[in-house]
Amino acid sequence: MSALKKIFSIKKKPESAVEPSKEDDVKKIKLTFFESGYGSSKQAEGNHMVFKACLQDVYMDYKGKCREDERLQNSLKEPYIQERSKYEIELKKRRTVKAILDESIATLEKKIQLFKSEIVDVRHNPEKYVEDVDKKPKAQFYLGLIVLIPITFYLLVFYISASYSAFFKTFDPNATVTAAIFDANALSKAIEDGWLEGVFVATIPFAFMGLGYLIHMFQKHKNWLSFVKIGTLFVVTFIFDAILAYQIEKKIYDFDKTPISPPFDVGIALTSPEFWGIIFAGFVVYIIWGLVFDFIMKEYENFDRIKSFIRARREDIENAHLEINKLIGKINPIKEEISGIEGKINDLQRTIDGFIFSNKHYLTYHAEYVKGWFLAIADNFDSLKRRDELLAKCKEEERKHLEEHEIADESYEGRLYKLIN
């Protein structure tokens, strides 16, 4: 058995010496195996149990030498090293993609926090986020609305009563001027006179309010044409109020006139205090209503700008969350791929850190040893029966040996002995 330990012991040549070729080394080792097998078989007289022990000894000796053969190991591990490099490149790519996606998610999360802080801050510092906005539009809006509502009711009552008095009412000569103008039952009386009269009287106040709305809209455009339109609307409103006042004053004058009284005309109307009282009771209040309405609308626009800003920021937050969910949906598969690649790299690294038993090389030397053993049996036993018996038993031991170590397949390059962490 001592000869087996020297099979793989090849003397190291000085660096300056010419190294023998790999093919020559293989031939020498194969010859040594053959001679060792022949000698051991002859010495043991072909005993199959000794043959079994010798095969195990050859296997273990080769296994140790295979582990120590750095050049052979590097050659056997080269495909695994290259495969690991490919996986490392793929791992780097996926980590880069994941880092980009993580950075995008972090950026979106920062934006969400910024949007939330802006939603809180815009209520206290609206001018910081919205141009031309008052700091407290909400309070001023509600104060203006409190003033506008009773004025609106006043105009409704005034124009319904005044239009009914001017066009449809029959005056009582004993009634006062105030009673002649303001009639609490003007709308119901107009409806009793006919549905057209009722509709006419009920809608006249909204015509004036529509004029006020147009004035507000024209004021948004600061140009000469807008000022001309606004002036025209004021003139039209004044003329209509003057017509109402003229008609009412005429009816009162006709009831009070004497045979010597001159016919009622514009000159008489212009000198009548009641005429101007009716005009200013409607027109001046109408101007006040228009100014308050314009103020409220401006404050509402300021208030609406803040609400629009908040609404836009909430939409931005919702969109950011949707984008984050999309990015997370992309990251999860990448994480799984990274985990799988890391597992493969770790598995390859354990292979590289361990060693590879070369089945192919071992079977080459194993075959030479067995050939030597069998040849010794054939050369040293004349009895055909005894020789065939020994050969059969040794072949069975060889088969068991190869199956036990799972090295029966010559096309299989090697078995992996991975480093266990």
pLDDT classification of 108: cutoffs 50, 70, 90? very high
- Per the model's pLDDT, the better-predicted residue between 185 and 398 turns out to be 398
Residue 161: closest CA among 183, 146, 139: 183
Whether the predicted pLDDT of 352 surpasses 60: yes
Six-digit token string for 67:
């582990």
- Per the model's pLDDT, the better-predicted residue between 145 and 39 turns out to be 39
Q: Are 286 and 155 in contact (CB under 8 A)?
A: yes
pLDDT tens for 14-61 read: 443 344 455 666 677 777 888 888 888 888 888 888 888 998 888 888
Alpha-helix runs per DSSP H in 168-223: 177-181, 186-193, 195-219
Q: Helices 273-353 and 70-121 meet at what angle, rounded to 10?
A: 170
User: Cβ contacts of residue 296 below 8 Å, gap of 6+?
Assistant: 141, 144, 145, 148
Q: Are 359 and 409 in contact (CB under 8 A)?
A: yes
Could you count the other beta carbons within 10 Å of the beta carbon of residue 252?
Answer: 22
Highest mean pLDDT pick, 86-95, 175-184, 356-365? 86-95
Residue 168: closest CA among 151, 142, 186, 150: 186
Element (H, E) at 355: strand 355-357
Torsion from C-alpha of 140, 143, 144, 150, nearest 10 degrees: 170
Secondary structure class of 8 (helix, strand, coil): coil
Minimum mean pLDDT range among 103-107, 132-136, 255-259: 132-136
Whether the predicted pLDDT of 109 surpasses 90: yes
pLDDT tens for 149-199 read: 887 787 777 777 777 666 666 655 555 555 556 666 666 767 777 777 777
Minimum mean pLDDT range among 81-90, 291-300, 359-368: 291-300
- Per the model's pLDDT, the better-predicted residue between 372 and 297 turns out to be 372
Minimum mean pLDDT range among 10-14, 297-301, 371-375: 10-14
What is the DSSP code string of 219-242?
Answer: HTS-SHHHHHHHHHHHHHHHHHHH
Distance (Å, whole) CA 236 – CA 238: 5
- Section 338-344 average pLDDT: 90
Q: CA 309, 315, 321, 326 torsion: positive or negative? A: negative
What is the DSSP code string of 381-401?
Answer: ---HHHHHHHHHHHHHHHHHH
Q: For 313-328, b where at least 16 C-beta lie within 10 A, e where not — what string?
A: beebbeebeeebeebe
Q: Delimit the domains of the chain by residue range.
A: 28-104+330-417, 137-317
Q: Which residue has the tokens 């009773």?
A: 150
Whether the predicted pLDDT of 389 surpasses 70: yes
**Residues in the chain, total:** 421
- Section 207-218 average pLDDT: 71
Distance (Å, whole) CA 224 – CA 310: 35
Whether the predicted pLDDT of 106 surpasses 70: yes
Could you count the other beta carbons within 10 Å of the beta carbon of residue 161?
Answer: 22
The answer to whether the pTM exceeds 0.75 is no
pLDDT tens for 291-327 read: 787 777 777 766 667 777 888 888 999 999 999 999 9
